[in-house]
Amino acid sequence: MEIALLGGTGDIGEGLALRWAHDTDHELVIGSRDAERAESKAEAYAAELDSRGRDADITGADNATAAAGADVIVLAVPAYHLADTIDAVADDLDDGAVLVTPAVGMKRDEDGFHYNRPGVGSVTELAAEAAPESAPVVGAFHNLPAGRLANLDADLGIDTAIVGDDGDAVETVTAVAEEIEGLRAVDAGPLANAPEIEAITPLLINVAKHNDGMHDLGVRFE
């Protein structure tokens, strides 16, 4: 399977790229608005894998080129770049390509981090509104600890809650999520159930701030 990681030079994108490169044989394309930056990151990831004896299939390209031909496109960009990024690649998507959004909207005040819920209901639903009809949107990877994800020596032991209205797309994303060792995908139902997942991310930051020895947290449902 070909997986594109748009914003694959940022922290969650990097972690997912390294984990898939390490744990699977999928073809990975790192996307960025800056093709050179994407290529250089892809080389760095490949070198990291090479140092662990893995001959990974990772290349870099501008976002539209990365998205073209991919089966799964992860939109690992900040919430405020989500609609722009989808617009930039919409014409290049294969029919039935699955768009995956891990973005969360947050705001910070003197009390801590808070979920900044968009008017349409969630950032995940914002992506669904921006996406072409031929491309089903799935919400996943919202609450992952970026540092541990990108550290291939760290155990995960965490969950990712997945939402989507297209059963086949949810199945595809669930499968690639579970291929990451230590990550369990749980089905949280339709896209409309995304807000409660997105809201966990600011809580994880607040908990990390207030508890010694807890940092870079994920969540587990049990």
Out of 126, 158, 169, 176, point to the residue binding its own copies (CB under 8 A).
158
Q: Residue 147 interacts with its own copies (CB under 8 A)? A: no
211 burial (CB, 10 Å; 0-12 / 13-18 / 19+) is exposed
Closest CA to 190 of 147, 143, 118, 137: 137
Does 220 help bind its own copies (rule: CB under 8 A)? yes
> Quick check: 221 binds its own copies (CB under 8 A)?
yes
Place of tokens 């972690």: 15
The answer to whether 50 and 56 have CB atoms below 8 angstroms apart is yes
- Cα gap 213→194, rounded to integer Å: 29
Number of residues that bind its own copies (CB under 8 A): 35
Binding mask 109-128 for its own copies (x = CB under 8 A): x-xx-xx-------------
Which of the stretches 16-24, 69-77, 80-88, 154-162 binds its own copies when contact is defined by CB under 8 A? 154-162
Query: Is 47 near its own copies (CB under 8 A)?
Result: no
In this structure, are residues 97 and 69 in contact, taking their beta carbons and an 8 Å threshold?
no
The torsion region of residue 157 among left (phi > 0), alpha (psi -120 to 50) and beta comes to left
Closest CA to 216 of 195, 201, 199: 201
Residues 195-214, interacting with its own copies (CB under 8 A): 195-197, 199-200, 202-204, 206-207, 209-211, 214
- Closest approach of Cβ 24 to its own copies, in Å? 23
Q: Using the structure block, give the residue that is written with the tokens 């508890």.
A: 211
Give 147 or 157: the residue with its C-beta nearer to its own copies: 157
Q: Which residues bind its own copies (CB under 8 A)?
A: 109, 111-112, 114-115, 157-158, 161, 186-190, 192-193, 195-197, 199-200, 202-204, 206-207, 209-211, 214, 217-222
